[in-house]
Structure 1
Amino acid sequence: MDGSNPHNRFACDRNLTSFDHPPAPQVGAGGRTGNAWAPTPRDVEKEKKLFAGQMKSGINFEKYASIPIETAGNNVPFPMQSFETSTVHPLIKANVILAGYSNPTPVQKHAVPIIDGGQDLMACAQTGSGKTAAFLLPILSRNFKDGPETEGPRYPGVVFPSTLILAPTRELAMQIANEAKKFTYRSFARAVVVYGGTPINMQLGDLERGCHLLIATPGRLCDLIERRRVSLSKLKYLVLDEADRMLDMGFEPQIRRIVEEEDMPRSRQTLLFSATFPREIQILAKDFLRSYVWLAVGRVGGAADDIAQTILQVSGTAKRDKLVNLIFSDKDLRMQDPKNLALTLVFVQTKRSADTLTSYLREKKIPATSIHGDRSQAEREAALASFRAGRTPVMIATDVAARGLDVPNVTHVINYDLPGSIDDYVHRIGRTGRAGNIGRATAFYSDTNFPIARALAETLRQAKQPVPDFLKNARFASTGGSGGGGGSFGFGNGGPRRNYGEPLF
């Protein structure tokens, strides 16, 4: 449906006052008349907490209009032109304004009307492209239009969420939950997040207070299902976010059990989001989705053009000194203007390296923290909070933080240790250059990184970045690294097929 159709518009008062008294309940996209409800009054203090620290659109945000888009499938709707003229529920529009969203990103322009129209979706988009809002906004909009569920049979201690969002890591699940709380503000809908690595009792208590939208890691959800505390029998919407990462982490058996062996209705709407599209994801899409729409925004698995990439040839013994020099030469990092933070994220391969490098930086009087799998959940949350606030503007991380984690104001990503997969490299540097902001990415390359040389050089070339001579020479003999080849693109309705090793656009 074209969001510019005047018959489908809702009035949107930028002062938000019109939403204190919403229009009569609309007929939801699912085709049934919603139950009457009204948003709760605004709470200014709550708004300060919910919507503080929003990332502003960068100077290159308008460049998003020229990013190539590819869709395939039956009855693909027109993209929406703006949030204000879209068909989403008025309360969503109000919360979008509070969240500081001015223009929809390409994935939002296309995904919102597809999801709002009830179609299954397989979406591939660059990291930092606004994928979370792309599925939250239309799902919550349809929930608001339908209104609260009428009371059915109740079972003590069991919740029946209408939406399930699966995410690979605790950090990503918490991030999605934080976004969901913004968009459910003043509504009847309640979002709950559950994940492993923390005592389950507090999460059980949270679930018992009500759950419309459940964000979960696969392992913890399986635990709750086994305890008969969660039923998927009333599920309407299933979202697999960072699906490629979930498969990389070995979650496929749990995902298949949740989707194929539990009481999830086959009539649900399924949305699969992935930054890359290897053969394993194609199989998952084929098994879980029905007549889906394929959406590719930019190069599949490609790095954003708003990231200035630099590859430095540095031997292992010289890495620490080079890192210190890079940090001390960063004027924005040293100044740390509280109103315009400049954060640096450094990636290493091992947990031990994260701890030893953090200690070394602290010895050099550089405020640094670390995040990796051996730190407790409380320690990881504290490290992220300190990093976000700029108290420790340098964070050393393993790949636990590489995918999906959205930390505003990361201006520089440093690959202290290059990964073995070009997909992981793209995900790592995608932590900067978000929402149209300019970002920097620096990588330390040595002879041990030879297997990734060809794929790295190609990634630089596609992003119109300079390819250093040492990388040009190495790439001719390189195999290209893992994770970047094989397979083909399979469209949901017999559309065109491509070799994954070729650029999409």
Structure 2
Amino acid sequence: MKESLEPSASEETAEEKAETVGALQEIVDENAEVVKDEASSTYAENAALTALPRAELDRFLADKFITITDPNKSNLRPITKFEYLPITDDKQLKPFANFKAPTPIQAAAWPFLLAGRDVIGVAETGSGKTMGFAVPCVRAISALPKKMRNMGPRAVIVSPTRELAVQSYDEIKKLTAVCGLEAVCVYGGVPKQEQRKLLKTADIVVATPGRLNDLIIEGFADLSKAAYVVLDEADRMLDKGFEEEIRKIINTTPAIGKRQTLMFTATWPESVRALAATFMQKPVKIAIGDNPSGDLRANTRIMQKVEVVDPRHKEWRLLQLLKEYSAGTKSEDRILVFCLYKKEATRVEIYIKGRGFRVAGIHGDLTQEQRSRALDGFKKGTTPILVATDVAARGLDIPDVQVVINCTFPLTVEDYVHRIGRTGRAGKQGLAITLFTEHDKAQSGALINVLKAANQEVPEELMKFGTTVKKKAHDAYGAFYKDTGDMAKTATKITFD
């Protein structure tokens, strides 16, 4: 019997299969767009806010040193009062009961975030950035139908350290607790089992990059519906230490245009701006303070003192400073001592403790329980001195840090600015003392620039090390690398007779 060469009614040609697959893909894309549209619901400005004179709002922006750069020129008005938020459930305003008004970064960012825009927020630490991105996040997810909540991550917030992740999680829980949403904090140093379980239902994931990527690879963290993505301390998240980890995470979320991407940071150096642009779509940039560019600059409320010392006398000088600033201070005042390496931090902590001071330590070699206990004692004031590596340099909200002492200078001047930013918070004055040695001379030029920009005294001994700013080395080619990407000169064709 001769086989028929024509396809049967139950079979599809290759062209028909391709059409079917294409149609299915369109449905998936439409559904993803619907999820994003539902989660980012349209922002309707409060009528009372609309009625305010434009001059009054312009004065508010000027008084608070708010600079807004919007490529779409949408001209949304800052939400200067909590009652202007598009929130009908009074329970959601409960976390703000003790605050008179939104902070500048919250007031300026909220309307754009509620409208679904990508946003870069640049403001000093302690300025309310966490609630700045948390309020629109919770509102967007709360607007989803109930059957779409508690079904896995709709938002992901990535932080560089465990401590900062936990701090953000604690703030976000104040909002989720009153609206029936679930959040999970994912970080290393603790067992994964509980995190795996919570990820099944959590609407919001707050995480450090390493542990989150582990759980993504294992199949326990599905971010395919996480249409709200936040990089906290974005400048740190986009540097060469975290860039690859961040790319992996963002690549598992919805594509650009189908997600809302936020980057909040205290500094916005040129080195990360181009990279950030690859993750965002026409972002609104909001800068708070008299530094709208976001370039590296120290808080002018912090008095910076630099002492050039012999490396062998560093710990002895540290002890003198602790005696000077611990004697007769209020019980709530705290002193934060920074070291460069984990072993150094352990040694300095033992040295200080042996001289009769109440001191704790925080660094990467400690368990999460030990780190949490040390940080909690420092915050409460029961342990007035904390010795730390740079895990405590960024974003941590520790009130009443009277003095920051750099026992050892960090590897970069960016980390120096973040270290000293632990004092002088919430409008208060602060003091930062740095013990600088000949081993740190490669950073002298950059440090001198920071001191001069903040109108601080530059000691003559520091000037002797030189004012040249060392160029950052390339990952592969070191200091001999030359970036030729911006060279205007092009090759010329030569024709021979």
> TM tier, shorter chain?
0.7 to 0.9
Change (3 A) 1:120 1:460: same
Which residue of the other structure, out of 274, 282, 288, is the alignment partner of 1:291? 282
Alpha-carbon distance in structure 1 between the residues aligned to 2:301 and 2:237: 27
What is the Cα deviation at residue 347 of structure 1? 0.6
* Residues 153-173 of structure 1: per-residue CA shift (max 9 Å, x gap): x9xxxx521111011111111
What is the Cα deviation at residue 111 of structure 1? 1.4
Give the aligned partner of residue 493 of structure 2.
none
Which residue of the other structure, out of 139, 142, 151, is the alignment partner of 2:140? 142
Amino acid at match of 2:337: V
Contact 2:160 2:209 in 1 (8 A): yes
Give the aligned partner of residue 184 of structure 1.
176
Alpha-carbon distance in structure 1 between the residues aligned to 2:62 and 2:163: 27
What is the Cα deviation at residue 449 of structure 1? 2.3
* Residues 165-221 of structure 1: per-residue CA shift (max 9 Å, x gap): 01111111111101111222322112110111211012223334x311110112222
* Residues 375-405 of structure 1: per-residue CA shift (max 9 Å, x gap): 1111111111121122221111111221122
2:142 aligned with 1:131? no
What is the Cα deviation at residue 264 of structure 1? 6.0
Amino acid at match of 1:308: M
Runs of 5+ unmatched residues, structure 2? 1-37, 45-59, 474-481, 484-497
Amino acid at match of 1:93: L
Give the aligned partner of residue 383 of structure 2.
392
Give the aligned partner of residue 479 of structure 1.
469
Report SS of the residue matched to 1:215.
Answer: strand
Give the aligned partner of residue 95 of structure 1.
95
What is the Cα deviation at residue 268 of structure 1? 1.1
Give the aligned partner of residue 30 of structure 1.
41
Which residue of the other structure, out of 290, 315, 319, is the alignment partner of 1:324? 319
What is the Cα deviation at residue 311 of structure 1? 1.4
Contact 1:169 1:400 in 2 (8 A): yes
Alignment coverage as a number of residue pairs: 417
Runs of 5+ unmatched residues, structure 1? 1-26, 34-61, 488-505
Q: CA RMSD in A?
A: 2.9
Report SS of the residue matched to 1:308.
Answer: strand
What is the Cα deviation at residue 151 of structure 1? 4.5
Give the aligned partner of residue 342 of structure 1.
333
Alpha-carbon distance in structure 2 between the residues aligned to 1:128 and 1:480: 30
Report SS of the residue matched to 1:400.
Answer: helix
Greater shift, 167-176 or 276-285, is seen at: 276-285
What is the Cα deviation at residue 117 of structure 1? 1.7
Which residue of the other structure, out of 112, 135, 154, is the alignment partner of 1:114? 112
Alpha-carbon distance in structure 2 between the residues aligned to 1:425 and 1:63: 30
TM-score (norm 1): 0.75
Change (3 A) 1:418 1:125: same
What is the Cα deviation at residue 263 of structure 1? 5.7
TM-score (norm 2): 0.77
What is the Cα deviation at residue 232 of structure 1? 1.8
Alpha-carbon distance in structure 1 between the residues aligned to 2:342 and 2:205: 30
What is the Cα deviation at residue 328 of structure 1? 1.5
Alpha-carbon distance in structure 1 between the residues aligned to 2:298 and 2:437: 21
Change (3 A) 1:160 1:284: farther
Alpha-carbon distance in structure 2 between the residues aligned to 1:441 and 1:64: 29
Contact 1:164 1:216 in 2 (8 A): yes
Contact 1:235 1:265 in 2 (8 A): no
Alignment of 1:79-478 (within 5 A): 79-88=78-87, 90-97=90-97, 100-144=98-142, 146-151=143-148, 159-208=151-200, 210-248=201-239, 250-261=241-252, 266-298=257-289, 299=291, 300=294, 301-331=296-326, 334-337=328-331, 341-476=332-467, 478=468
What is the Cα deviation at residue 293 of structure 1? 0.8
What is the Cα deviation at residue 248 of structure 1? 3.8
Contact 1:343 1:394 in 2 (8 A): yes
* Residues 419-442 of structure 1: per-residue CA shift (max 9 Å, x gap): 131111111111112221222111
Amino acid at match of 1:414: I
Report SS of the residue matched to 2:81.
Answer: coil
Contact 2:190 2:368 in 1 (8 A): yes
Question: Which structure ranks higher in relative contact order (CA pairs < 8 Å, sequence separation ≥ 6)?
Answer: 1
Give the aligned partner of residue 67 of structure 2.
69
Give the aligned partner of residue 37 of structure 1.
none
Report SS of the residue matched to 1:203.
Answer: helix
Report SS of the residue matched to 1:168.
Answer: coil
Structure with larger Rg: 2
Report SS of the residue matched to 1:329.
Answer: helix
Change (3 A) 1:395 1:64: farther
What is the Cα deviation at residue 410 of structure 1? 1.6
* Residues 61-101 of structure 1: per-residue CA shift (max 9 Å, x gap): x999454635242114222223344445543432112xx33
What is the Cα deviation at residue 415 of structure 1? 0.8
Alpha-carbon distance in structure 2 between the residues aligned to 1:136 and 1:380: 25
What is the Cα deviation at residue 472 of structure 1? 4.2
Amino acid at match of 2:41: G
Q: Percent identity?
A: 36
